[in-house]
Chains A and B, each alone.
Chain A
Amino acid sequence: MKAFKSVPAARPRGDVPLLVCVCLMVCFGCLMIYSASSYVGKVQYGDAFYFFKKQALGAVAGGALMAFFCFFPYRRLYRFRYVAVAAAVALLALVFVPGVGVTNYGATRWIGLGPLTLQPSEVAKYAYALFAAAYFSKNYRKVKSFSGVLPVLAVGALFCLLVILEPNMSITMCIGMLMLALVYLAGTGLKTFALVLIPCALAVPALIIAEPYRLERLSAFLDPWSSPLDEGYQLIQSLYALGNGGLFGVGLFNSTQKYRFLPFAESDFILSVMGEELGFFGLMVFFCGCAFIIWRGMRIAKNCGEPFGYLLAAGFTLVYGIQVVINALVVSGTIPPTGLPLPLISSGNTSLIITMASMGVLYNISRGSAVSTGLPRAPSFNK
């Protein structure tokens, strides 16, 4: 590393297209939030720019944090693995402290900090990715055995437990999928992986039975018009928006569904408004952008010369990718509705800031990988 630093021509530039794409996404997100929320903002808060302003503020903060992590050597994050887990657990627990936790729509998912609210589960996803990457990179020889992956599973289970108590099914699933993906990517044996996968698969029906409202949502998902005013409402409104958009969309700012028909039009269901205003082809362009980010992220992971960077990049990319996919599937009524934001686009500052920060880390890893081509790859890389 030091040897290369002295040669200016080889100065690592990192993955600039990724950063450009992320910045474009965030700007586009602000625009869509304005479009989707101007009416609701005006009616409910007396300000058409209410949600836009909040998001712009988050974008500035996220941009700053992203810039910071672009230049903050990612390897130093290794040291924060326990701190991150501890902080995440503390924040997740804090949600349940009366007076601190903020309850909305029947779920206690936020921490109130004066005028700001923080969603700890958003932080937890990334803390978990960091912890797993750090653990596996140090103990990659143990990953073949079940006892070797047990600490990662234990932390994952703890996070899942705390998040499901909020309750927040979607982020629980997100963390669960992340856990499985990371265990797999770390190079565990097939037997061990199966040993992890089966209980996880069994947990899903158990969780559904535990909370009847999930079952209602499930049935509403299968036939939303059986309960058009209750469980099926949101999905129907999302489908109306998409249907209204057709192939080419009704044009920016022209959504009809944003007139308070579609709940969470500026957050979890912003994809519906995008589909309505920009049409199928507009969405395809957007999805190409998402796929580009995921592809660059996986490429960064692959090109990273050492296990921690590899797993961290893969983990952060997965967090992003899993959310995009789940959100798209929910909005299109392919899977039952859950409250998961579309990262970088949906209104919600915690998600925006931390996703941008994670993109900064990805960029930093890409810089690192560019300078460390000489290092040997971890044995588990060539899967």
Chain B
Amino acid sequence: MSASLAIAFIFCVIAGRFFYIQAIWGRELVLKATDQWNREIPVIASRGLIRDRNGSVIAGNENTYSVFVRPNAVEDKNYCAAAIAGALGLDGDAVFQKISRKGVSEVTVAAHVAAGDVEKLVACDIDGVYYARDNTRLYPYGEALCQVLGFTSTDGSGISGLEKYYDALLSGKNGEIMYTTDIVGVETENAAVVYAPAEDGSSVMLTVDARIQLAAEQVMREVYYSCGAKAVSCIVLDPQTFEILALVNYPSYDLNDVPKDDTDLLNALSRNRLVVDIYEPGSTFKIITAAADIEEYLKGNSAAFSPEHIFNSSRTRSVDGTTIKCWSDHKNGKHSNQTLAAALNNSCNPCFTDIALSLGVDTFYGYLSAFGFGNVTGIDFSGEAVGMLLPQSMVRDCDLARMGFGQTVAVTGLQLACAAAAAVNGGNYYVPRLLKGVAGEDGVFEEVSPVLKSKVISEEASRMLAEMLEGVVTEGSGKNAYIEGYKVGGKTGTAQKYEDGKIAVGKYVSSFIGFFPSDAPEYLALITVDEPQGAYYGSTVAAPAAKSVFESIIALKNIRPYE
């Protein structure tokens, strides 16, 4: 009897213990064990396409595959290595070494293999060899827009440019195929396969117009070679919305063949200089000074000069004991008895010194700030520079005098283009952007609407300024940008470059800001030519390039001349 009780007791203890493990602890144990039971093969999400504003694909995908091997599941390693090497054109010994490694459950043998090669290998039907789509990014336009688009790493994640900026949108979410395997990764006979589909990335549409981009690239390439310049760039935007239509930095590189081995070269070529680099703008900056003057005049500020005001014809101004000279010698009646319009036409420095000094630091800095200088524009691109603006409290008169015509100030090309656009579009400063829309699940693009940042000057001031700038092209220094039958406005600029705080002799940045039609601007372009050889005036180097770009746009968009 006591023996029976003892037996019963012992079995009750055992039963209790098993009940605890299997009924109460079980779920937690299974969770812990799941890791060791399953192996996953990733299903790579298809990266979203990048399209231009008309729908052309400018960054797409080519279907390629990763080939990998589970060494433990391979029966004949020699055969396997030979088959892989044969199909993919690899070195057989190297493949054999790879798949013979101990202590790894999975080896990637090759990545970005073309579909055709993979099919050859699939036909061999070797146990232990697996494939996963990995996609290779393909850029149909090669080097066009390369600094803006950026590129992806071999695993398909964006590492520069918009590929990086919009990576979260583009990359999607990888799925996976899950197999149950034995302890070393060999698929079990009744392997339950769980398939979690990949969520493909969203396609995005850019504000860029590929045709304008290509035309601008072509123009800039020609300028680059004909001027022997160090670098050239061009930005075209829509002044009504600040949508970037084209953005060229030349020299550039082929996105389908990124020079990843030469880091210095790649760093130099992949800089989106118009956005991340700054330069002293020179005379193109006079647009801002003029805008400030006109707006203040219309507001009734007595310090501002009226459009009819005749500026002192002297070549020099003396400020804080320093002498400021005009680039022109003012001889033989040149630059005499100028109004504001004539000063713009002639790009006469002393007139703009007068304006800046007359308005004073507070007012002038108020306009600089409103026009976005000393701050980022907020474009959807990483690494935007803020430019260099002396702190307001430290500005001496001699600094202010030079800032009036674009010296002692450094800006990005994008900042200047945006400021000029706001000055001539009716006075509206928008946030510039590259993203036009994102494709929803139904594939329809949802457009991003323009964001108005601030109202910088009045309609009237803007209209007056645009008229004056049209005059610069019809009769002033911007004549080289004139197109018969079209109202083109613009301003030239030629800035001396500084090296180590001193003027670098013979080194200039020649630039031109142009827009048309000047009474209701639809296109605005900023051309900069860094260190042109020979002729270096913006009027001779940059203005013709702007003209070419505009002519291309006119042809592409079939824009009729005004009556």
Seen from chain A, the residues whose Cβ lies within 8 Å of a Cβ on chain B are 39, 43, 239-240, 242-247, 254, 256-257, 259-261, 275, 279-280, 283-284, 287, 290-291, 294-295, 298, 302, 321, 325, 328-329, 332-334, 383
Residue of B nearest to A333 (CB): B21
Interface hub of B11, B28, B186 (most chain A Cβ within 10 A)? B11
B79 within 8 A of A: no
Q: Once the chains bind, are B11 and A291 in contact (CB under 8 Å)? A: yes
The answer to whether A242 and B183 touch across the interface, beta carbons within 8 angstroms, is no
- Min distance, Cβ B158 to any Cβ of chain A, angstroms: 38
Instruction: Give Cα distance in the complex from A321 to B7, angstroms.
Output: 9
- For B180, the chain A residues whose CB sits under 8 A away are 256, 259
Q: Assess the A247–B29 pair: CB atoms within 8 A.
A: no
Check B36–A261 contact: CB distance below 8 A.
yes
Partner pick for B3 among A261, A275, A298, CB 8 A cutoff: A298
Which A residues are CB-close (under 8 A) to B23?
246-247, 280
Q: How far is the CA of A43 from the CA of B23 in the complex (A)?
A: 32
**Shortest distance in angstroms between B18's beta carbon and chain A's nearest beta carbon?**
6
* Candidates A261, A283, A328; contact of B182 at CB < 8 Å: A261
Shortest CB-to-CB span from A21 to chain B, Å, is 15
A residues within 8 A CB of B37?
Answer: 256, 259, 261
B555 within 8 A of A: no
Asked if A329 and B184 sit within 8 Å, CB to CB, the answer is no
Please tell me which one of the listed residues A243, A244, A302, A329 contacts residue B14 in the complex, with CB atoms under 8 A apart: A329
A-B contact sample (12 more), CB < 8 A, given A240-B33, A242-B26: A39-B188, A242-B22, A243-B25, A257-B33, A259-B183, A260-B182, A261-B36, A280-B18, A280-B22, A283-B22, A295-B7, A329-B14
Binding site for A on B (CB under 8 A): 2-4, 7-8, 10-11, 14-15, 17-19, 21-23, 25-30, 32-33, 36-37, 180-184, 186, 188-190
Between B10, B25, B180, B181, the greatest number of chain A beta carbons within 10 A of the residue's beta carbon is seen for B10
Known: A291-B11, A295-B4, A321-B7. A240 touches B29 (CB 8 A): yes
CB distance from B183 to the nearest CB of A (A): 4
Q: B131 → chain A, closest Cβ, in Å?
A: 24
8 A-B residue pairs with Cβ-Cβ distance under 8 Å, sorted by A, are A239-B25, A243-B33, A244-B26, A244-B29, A244-B30, A247-B23, A298-B4, A328-B18
Expressed in whole angstroms, the minimum distance between the Cβ of B242 and any Cβ of chain A is 59
| Interchain CB contact (< 8 A) of B183 among A245, A261, A295 | A261
Q: Which residues on A sit within 8 Å (CB–CB) of B33?
A: 240, 243-244, 256-257
Please, which residues of chain B bring their CB within 8 A of the CB of A43? 182, 186
A-B pair number, CB within 8 angstroms: 97
Expressed in whole angstroms, the minimum distance between the Cβ of A183 and any Cβ of chain B is 16
- Least CB distance from B477 to A in Å reads 79
Q: Given A243, A245, A247, which contacts B28 in the complex, CB threshold below 8 Å? A: A243
Contact B26 A246 (CB under 8 A): yes
Contacts of B28 in A (CB 8 A): 243
Interchain CB contact under 8 A, A325 and B10: yes
Whether the pair B29, A287 counts as a contact (CB closer than 8 A) is no
Cα(A294)–Cα(B28), bound, Å: 34
The chain B residue sitting closest to A331, CB to CB, is B18
| Interchain CB contact under 8 A, B14 and A325 | yes
| A331 CA to B190 CA, complexed, in Å | 26
CB distance from B286 to the nearest CB of A (A): 74
- Do B4 and A242 touch (CB < 8 A)? no
A290 CA to B36 CA, complexed, in Å: 33
| Distance in Å: Cβ of A33 to nearest Cβ of chain B | 18
User: Which of B10, B30, B182, B186 is the one whose CB lies under 8 Å from A240?
Assistant: B30
Please give, as numbers and ranges, the residues of chain B lying within 8 Å of A257 by CB-CB distance.
Answer: 33
Other-chain contact of A291, B2, B7, B25 (Cβ < 8 Å): B7
Contact A243 B183 (CB under 8 A): no
Q: Are B183 and A287 in contact (CB under 8 A)?
A: no
The residue that B18 contacts in the complex, of A244, A254, A275, A321, with Cβ under 8 A, is A275
Q: Which 10 residue pairs are nearest across A and B when measured between Cβ atoms?
A: A243-B29, A259-B182, A240-B33, A243-B26, A260-B183, A280-B22, A332-B17, A242-B21, A328-B14, A246-B26
A246 to chain B, nearest CB (A): 5
* B83, chain A: closest CB distance, angstroms: 23
Bound CA span A377–B181, Å: 61
Q: Which A residue's beta carbon lies closest to that of B188?
A: A259
Question: Closest Cβ of chain B: how far from A371's Cβ, in Å?
Answer: 24
Contact residue among A39, A247, A328, A334 (Cβ-Cβ distance under 8 Å from B22): A247
| Chain B residues within 8 Å of A302, by CB | 3
The smallest beta-carbon distance between B419 and chain A, in angstroms, is: 64
Least CB distance, A174 to chain B, in whole angstroms: 15
Q: Which residue of A lies closest to B2 (CB)?
A: A383
Tell me the bound Cα distance from A279 to B3 in angstroms. Answer: 28
Docked complex Cα distance between A325 and B36 (Å): 30
Bound complex: CA A287 to CA B19 (Å): 13
Q: Are B181 and A259 in contact (CB under 8 A)?
A: yes
Tell me if B21 and A243 are in contact (CB < 8 A).
Answer: yes
**CB <8 Å contact, B26 and A294:** no
Nearest CB to that of A39 among chain B residues? B182
Tell me, in angstroms, the Cα distance from A259 to B32 when the chains sit together: 17
Q: Which residues of A contact B190 (CB under 8 A)?
A: 254
Interface pair A334/B17, CB less than 8 Å apart: yes
In the assembled complex, the Cα of A134 lies from the Cα of B281 at a distance in Å of 114
Q: What is the CA–CA distance of A90 and B23 in the complex, to the nearest angstrom?
A: 47
CB nearest neighbor in A for B37: A256
Bound-complex Cα distance A260 to B186 (A): 10
Shortest C-beta distance, A333 to chain B (Å), equals 7
Question: Once bound together, how far apart are the Cα atoms of A377 and B25, in whole Å?
Answer: 49
Give the docked Cα–Cα distance between A43 and B8 (Å): 41
A287 touches B14 (CB 8 A): yes
Task: Tell me the bound Cα distance from A194 to B33 in angstroms.
Answer: 46
Quick check: A246 and B22 within 8 Å, CB to CB?
yes
Least CB distance from A60 to B in Å reads 29
Measured between alpha carbons, how far is A240 from B27 in the docked complex, in Å?
Answer: 10
Given contacts A39-B188, A259-B183, contact A242 B18 (CB under 8 A): yes
Report the separation of the CA atoms of residues A298 and B27 in the bound assembly, to the nearest whole angstrom: 39
Q: Which residues of B contact A275 (CB under 8 A)?
A: 18, 22
Which of B11, B21, B184 sits near A287, CB closer than 8 Å?
A: B11
User: How far is A247 from B26 in the complex, measured between Cα atoms in Å?
Assistant: 9
- Looking at B18, B28, B29, B37, the one whose CB has the most chain A CB atoms below 10 A away is B18
Q: Report how far A124 CA is from B387 CA in the complex, Å.
A: 92
- Closest CB in chain B relative to A35 CB, distance in Å: 13
Query: CA of A290 to CA of B15 in the docked complex: distance in angstroms?
Result: 13
CA distance A284 to B15 in the complex (A): 7
> A254 contacts which chain B residues (CB < 8 A)?
190
Residues of chain A with a CB closer than 8 A to B25's CB: 239, 243
Instruction: Specify which chain B residues have a CB less than 8 angstroms from the CB of A325 in the assembled complex.
Output: 10, 14
How far, in whole Å, are A332 and B18 apart by their CA atoms in the complex? 6
Q: How far is the CA of A119 from the CA of B196 in the complex (A)?
A: 51
Q: Which of B7, B15, B21, B184 has the most CB of A within 10 A?
A: B21
Q: Which B residues are in CB contact (< 8 Å) with A259?
A: 37, 180-183, 188
B7 pairs with A298, CB closer than 8 A: yes
- Given known pairs A259-B182, A298-B4, the reply for A239 and B14 (CB within 8 Å) is no
Separation of A257 and B34 alpha carbons in the complex (Å): 11
Whether the pair A332, B188 counts as a contact (CB closer than 8 A) is no
Q: Indicate if the CB atoms of A287 and B22 lie closer than 8 Å.
A: no
CB distance from A343 to the nearest CB of B (A): 15
Q: Which of B3, B14, B28, B190 has the most CB of A within 10 A?
A: B14
List the A residue with the shortest CB-CB distance to B8. A291
What distance in Å separates the Cβ of A249 from its nearest Cβ neighbour in chain B?
9
